[in-house]
């Protein structure tokens, strides 16, 4: 099993010119604002304050890169936050657009909130990943807020919205660490696939 120790913040990017390139695979974490991207990264790192978590949605406005040893995680700014200006929204859209074009992400962990039916933006994100042939996993966050029976029902709703199988969605909690073993397994596959690629 993939072991993560000593994950470190690398840098932030506000625009294309600040994107980083790396030998290691870059794995991006996407999802609507407040879904739990930063918490997911902290839970994965086993650190409380690596990525900034906020009660207030829309806090992460930059792409924040973290070195996880065998891979790099990019914490993407959350989409779908209503209370920002049009100009700011356009800036985020441009940043995300550029990132998916030239940011070099090998894989995306797409987060959605297990308690809610996926939003139009969530569906657009997944469709975008399908159509651009970007490999991804879907992680449903905040699973600790639901009982196992409720989680089961929620996974049916989410899989129907994304037109995927229930087994394709990992129910996870940054608080209880439910689902993180599966996440680590998926990340391990990405890393070993990228190692193979380099050896060819």
Ligand X SMILES: Nc1nc2c(ncn2[C@@H]2O[C@H](COP(=O)(O)OP(=O)(O)OP(=O)(O)O)[C@@H](O)[C@H]2O)c(=O)[nH]1
Which positions touch ligand X (CB under 6 A)? 31, 33-39, 53-55, 57-60, 78, 141-142, 144-145, 173-175
d(CA 157, CA 151): 10
Cβ at position 194, least distance to ligand X in Å = 25
The one of ligand X, Mg ion, none whose footprint includes residue 173, by CB under 5 to 8 A per kind, is: ligand X
With CB atoms as reference, the residue minimizing the distance to ligand X is 78
Cβ at position 43, least distance to ligand X in Å = 7
Cβ at position 160, least distance to Mg ion in Å = 27
Q: Which is nearer to ligand X, 159 or 173 (CB)?
A: 173
Strand partners, 108: 28, 136
Cβ at position 104, least distance to ligand X in Å = 22
Cβ at position 29, least distance to ligand X in Å = 8
d(CA 154, CA 140): 9
d(CA 46, CA 33): 22
Q: What is the DSSP letter of 66?
A: E
The one of ligand X, Mg ion, none whose footprint includes residue 30, by CB under 5 to 8 A per kind, is: none
Site residues for Mg ion, 14-73, by CB under 5 A, read: 37-38, 60
d(CA 170, CA 154): 11
The one of Mg ion, ligand X, none whose footprint includes residue 109, by CB under 5 to 8 A per kind, is: none
Residue-wise burial string across 41-78, b where 16 or more C-beta atoms lie within 10 A, e elsewhere: bbbbbeeeebbebeeebbebbbbbbbbbebbbbbbbbb
Q: Which is nearer to Mg ion, 60 or 173 (CB)?
A: 60
**Nearest of 71, 77, 28 to residue 52 by alpha carbon:** 77
Q: Which is nearer to ligand X, 71 or 180 (CB)?
A: 180
> Judging by beta carbons within 10 Å of its beta carbon (0-12, 13-18, 19+), is residue 145 exposed, middle or buried?
middle
Q: Which is nearer to ligand X, 74 or 191 (CB)?
A: 74
Q: Which is nearer to Mg ion, 64 or 194 (CB)?
A: 64
Q: Which residues bind Mg ion (CB under 5 A)?
A: 37-38, 60
């Amino acid at each position: 099993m993939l072991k993560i120790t000593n994950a470190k913040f690398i840098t932030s990017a506000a625009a294309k010119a600040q994107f980083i390139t790396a030998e290691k695979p870059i794995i991006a974490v996407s999802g609507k604002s407040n879904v739990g991207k930063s918490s997911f990264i902290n839970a994965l790192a086993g650190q409380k304050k690596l990525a900034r978590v906020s009660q207030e949605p829309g806090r992460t406005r930059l792409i924040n890169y973290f070195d996880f040893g065998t891979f790099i995680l990019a914490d993407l700014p959350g989409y779908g936050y209503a209370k920002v200006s049009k100009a700011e929204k356009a800036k985020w859209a441009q940043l995300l657009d550029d990132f998916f074009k030239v940011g070099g992400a090998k894989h995306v962990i797409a987060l959605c909130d297990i308690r809610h039916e996926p939003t139009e933006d969530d569906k657009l994100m997944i469709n975008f990943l399908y159509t651009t042939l970007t490999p991804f996993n879907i992680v449903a966050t905040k699973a600790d807020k639901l009982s196992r029976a409720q989680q089961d029902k929620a996974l049916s709703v989410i899989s129907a919205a994304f037109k995927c199988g229930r087994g394709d969605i990992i129910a996870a909690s940054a608080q209880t660490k439910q689902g993180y073993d599966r996440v680590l397994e998926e990340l391990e596959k990405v890393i070993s696939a990228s190692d193979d690629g380099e050896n060819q």
